Amino acid sequence: MDLRGAVILFLIMLPAYGLGYISGMMNMRRNYLGLLRQARLENTRQQRWARQNAEHQRHIGYAVGYREGQRQG
């Protein structure tokens, strides 16, 4: 293969390399966005659980305080 054949082969393969690069970047983006979405959902679940747990603890504290007040009175 001479220089002209190598240049022609390079020019023929260039779009394939470009498409492969672009599709690889899109695949990586899709995977990364999936990970971000999963992390956001997990964070939301943890915040909701913490909020519900705090509300439950406040309710228990109120009830215990109320009972203690009833015993003293």
- Exposure of 57 in the CB half-sphere (CA atoms within 13 A): 6
Residue 58 carries which side chain, given as an amino acid letter?
R
Band the pLDDT of 57: cuts 50, 70, 90.
confident
Band the pLDDT of 68: cuts 50, 70, 90.
low
Say if residue 73's pLDDT is above 60. Answer: no
pLDDT of residue 41: 97
Residue given tokens 């260039």 in the structure block: 14
pLDDT, tens only, 25-52: 999 999 999 999 999 999 999 999 999 9
Which residues are CB-contacts of 1 (< 8 A; sequence separation ≥ 6)?
9
pLDDT of residue 58: 83
Alpha-carbon distances of 8 from 13, 14, 40, rounded to whole Å: 9, 10, 49
> Residues 10, 16, 22, 25: is their CA dihedral positive or negative?
negative
- Give the DSSP letter of residue 2: -
- pTM, two decimals, is 0.56
